Structure 1
Amino acid sequence: MGYDLTLQGLHDLAEGAAVLGTGGGGDPYIGRLLVERQLHAGRTVHIIDVDELPDDALVLPSSMMGAPTVFVEKLPSGDGNVAAFRALEAHLGRTAAAVMPTECGGLNSMIPLMLGAQLGLPVVDADGMGRAFPELQMQTFGVLGVSGSPMAIASDHGDTCIIDATDNKRMEQLARALTIQMGGASYITDYPMDTAEVRRTSVHGTLSLCRDIGQALRQARASHADPFDALTDMLAGTIYSLGVVLFRGKVVDVERRTVDGFARGKALLESAEGPGDVLEITFQNEHLVARRNGTVIAIVPDLICTLNSESGAPIPTESLAYGQRLTVYGISTPPIMRTPEALACFGPAGFGLPDPYTPLHDLLART
C-alpha cells in the first residue's frame, strides 16, 4: 500500500540510498535537503507500489546525470528536473501519472521524490538499477527491452533538449556530451514506460528498502548495537538476501580524477589487523571491484559499500580521504540483475574489467 514519506522516513531513506549507492550516485544529503524544503512547504511525497499504478498509466523516470564530484562544488537548484519532465511530456503528447527513480542509490533516489512533491505526482517504489550505476544504458529497463529514448535533458540554466537515439548506449553518449556542456551536471527524464513495462522490468520495492536500511542503522546506533550486524539481519529477508563485512581498515591512498563526466580512480585500504594485508577498490562513480591482496573478493553488479567503521554511515567516493577508518561491506544483487543479459550490460564486461563475474556467495565460499 502507498504511504506518505515522513521527515524521519526521508532521513532514513537518504542514508539507505547512500549505502546502495555503493560510493556513487551523488551524495543524497544534498538531495535530501531539497526534498525537505518541499515537505516544509507543505507538499507531500506519496510513494506507491507498482501494483497500485493504473493499467493505462504513463510513468516517467527522473534523475540527475554527471560526476558526483561536480555536485560537491555546484549545488543543484532543483528546477531543471521539472523542465526535463515537462519537455518529455510535451514531446510525447501525454501526461504522466507517476514519476519513478532510475536508480535507488545516492542523490538520484532523492530527485524523483522532489519532483513528485513539486508536481503532486506519486513516486513508484521501484527503480531500474537496484543500486547506482554510472551510465544510462545500465538499467534493467533497457536489459529487458525498453528504449530509453526519447529522453529529455535540461540544465539549471533553462536549456532543454530531446534526444532520440538509435540505442540506449548511444543515448548515454549523447546525453553525456550534453551534460559536460551543461557544466558537468544535468537533469534527465528517460525510459518512458507504461504500467506493464514498469511491472515487468523494474526492481521492485527499492525506495522502501532504502528507508528500511537507514532505519536499521539508526536504531542500531540508538541502542549501541553493531550497525553491521543490524544491516546483515535486515537484508537477509529481502531480495538482496546477503550482506557481509568484507574488510576493515584505514584508507592509505586515494587516486581520484574527473574524466569524461565520471569520477574515476582507486582507493587503497590497509587492514586493521596490521600491515601487509591491503584492499584496493576501483571505482567509476561507483565501486566496481574490490581486490584483497590482488584477489577479487567482490565485483559489480554486487554492491561494494564503504561505511564508517564506528557508525556504519556510508562514505561516497568523492569523500574518501587518507586516514579514514572504513568497513567495506558487500551486498548481493537481486536475481533480475544477474541474468546473462544483465551481466553483459552492467557486469564486469560492461566496464571493461578483465575479471569474470563471480557472485558474492561464491567468492565468500572460496575464502
Structure 2
Amino acid sequence: MRKIGIAEIEDIALGAALLGAGGGGDPYVGKLVAIGAVKECGPVTLLDPEEVPDDALVVPIAMMGAPTVLSEKAIGGAEYQTLYDTVSTFYGKPIYAFMPIEAGGVNSMLPIAAAARLGLPLVDCDGMGRAFPELQMVTFTIGGGSATPMALVDEKGNSCIFRTITNKWTEELARAVTMACGGSVSVSLFSMDGAFMKQYAVKGIVTRSQILGSAIRRVKEASQRTPEEEFLHITEGFRLFKGKICDVLREVRAGFNFGKVLLDGIGDYKGKSAYVEFQNENLTAAVEEEILATTPDLICLVDTETFQPVPTDALKYGKRVMVAGLPCYPLWRTPEGLKLVGPRYFGIDTDYIPLEERCKGGNA
C-alpha cells in the first residue's frame, strides 16, 4: 500500500503511454484529468492485489472509443459517480476499489481520477499489460470472466447497462452506443471479486509504468550506456527501425483509429523503408516488407532524441522515431491469448512468431 500523488502520476502517465503501444489515448489529456482530481481530492491509495479481500468487489474503469475524439470531447467528473452507483446497485454491495483495464495514456489515468474523486483505493493491476482496441481483449476473458454487467455513461449524462451473451457481443453493442454518443464514453466492465482478480490480472502494471516513466525521463543520465542503449535495457526491448515519418494514413472508423505510418530510414537504416499499421494500437511493424513484430507483442514508436513514446494520434510528417518492440505478457502467447489478440484476428496474414525469434541477432 502506498500513495499516488502528482509526481507519481507524471511518471505513470509516461510509462503507461509506452506500454500503450501507440494506443490508449493522449497521455497529456489523461494526465491533466488525473492531476486535476488529485489536486482537488488528495492522493490515491495504491493497493497490491494481495491486499484486496477475496470477496471484495473490484471494478475496472476506462474510456471507450477513438482516442483522438478526446481532444475535442472532454471528460467531466460526474461520470465516475454514475458508474459507481450503477454497478454497486446492480451487485447490491459497495465497490471496494477501482483498477485500470489497460495501460495507456488515458486509460491508466481515468481510474486514478475516479479513485481520487470517490475516495476509493486503486489496485496495482490491469487486464492487458499493454493496450488493445477491443474490450473483450483482456486476460479476464481467458479466465472465463464476463464483461457484463457493463455500465456506460457519456459526458451529457446518458447512461445504460449491458447484459450480453458473450464478451464479443458486449464489444459490438457498446461500440454502437459509443458512436451514437459522439465517439467516446466512460465505462466500467469486468467487475470481479478479489479472488478472480488475483488469479487472472496482470499484476504490478501501475508500478511498472511508474518505473518506466521515471527511467525514460532520466535516460540521458546513464553513464555506462548511450541513451538508446539505456532505453532498450530498461524496457527489455528490441530496436526494429529508426526513421523519419514520410506519410501517415489514418481514419476514424467504427469507433477506432485505423492507419499506417510510413518511414524512411535514417542512420544505420538509411536507404531502407518501414511501415507500422495500427488500429488504435500498433499491430504490425515491417522493414523492407519483412514483418519484424506483430501483436500481441508491443510495437512502440519513440522520439529518437527524448525516447518519449509517440501515440498513434500524435504521428506527423517529418518526426524522427525509433520503432521498438517489447515482449508481451506471457498469457497472450498461449493459444487462448492468440485467438483473442493474435495477428490473424486483425486480418494480418501471418502466424504469430515471438518478437525475440523474429529479431534474433538484433538489439536487445
TM, length-normalised to structure 1: 0.95
> 2:145 is aligned with what amino acid?
V
Pair 1:180-2:179 in alignment: yes
Paired position in structure 1 for 2:294: 299
Pair 1:288-2:283 in alignment: yes
Mapped partners of 1:337, 1:199: distance in 2? 17
258-267 or 330-339: which moved more?
330-339
Pair 1:264-2:258 in alignment: yes
**Partner-residue secondary structure (3-state), 1:137:** coil
**Partner-residue secondary structure (3-state), 1:105:** coil
> 2:62 is aligned with what amino acid?
S
Aligned mate of 1:247, from 241, 245, 260: 241
Mapped partners of 1:88, 1:208: distance in 2? 27
Paired position in structure 2 for 1:239: none
Aligned residues of 1:106 and 1:132 also touching (Cα < 8 A) = no
Paired position in structure 1 for 2:343: 348
Q: Which runs of 4+ in 1 moved over 6 A?
A: none
**Partner-residue secondary structure (3-state), 1:30:** helix
How far 1:7 moved relative to its partner? 1.7
Pair 1:123-2:122 in alignment: yes
How far 1:366 moved relative to its partner? 6.8
Aligned mate of 1:323, from 318, 322, 341: 318
Aligned residues of 2:260 and 2:278 also touching (Cα < 8 A) = yes
TM, length-normalised to structure 2: 0.96
Aligned residues of 1:125 and 1:208 also touching (Cα < 8 A) = yes
Mapped partners of 1:178, 1:153: distance in 2? 9
Aligned residues of 2:232 and 2:238 also touching (Cα < 8 A) = yes
How far 1:244 moved relative to its partner? 1.7
Pair 1:95-2:90 in alignment: no
Question: What 5-or-longer segments of structure 1 have no aligned partner?
Answer: 236-241
Paired position in structure 2 for 1:5: 4
Paired position in structure 2 for 1:228: 228
CA RMSD of aligned residues (A): 1.5
Paired position in structure 2 for 1:238: none
Following superposition of structure 1 onto structure 2, how do residues 99-114 of structure 1 map, counting pairs within 5 Å? Answer: 99-114=98-113
How far 1:165 moved relative to its partner? 0.7
Mapped partners of 2:344, 2:78: distance in 1? 36
Tell me the percent identity: 40
> 1:283 is aligned with what amino acid?
F
How far 1:234 moved relative to its partner? 2.5
Pair 1:277-2:277 in alignment: no
How far 1:39 moved relative to its partner? 2.0
Question: What 5-or-longer segments of structure 2 have no aligned partner?
Answer: none
Mapped partners of 2:80, 2:284: distance in 1? 32
How far 1:334 moved relative to its partner? 2.0
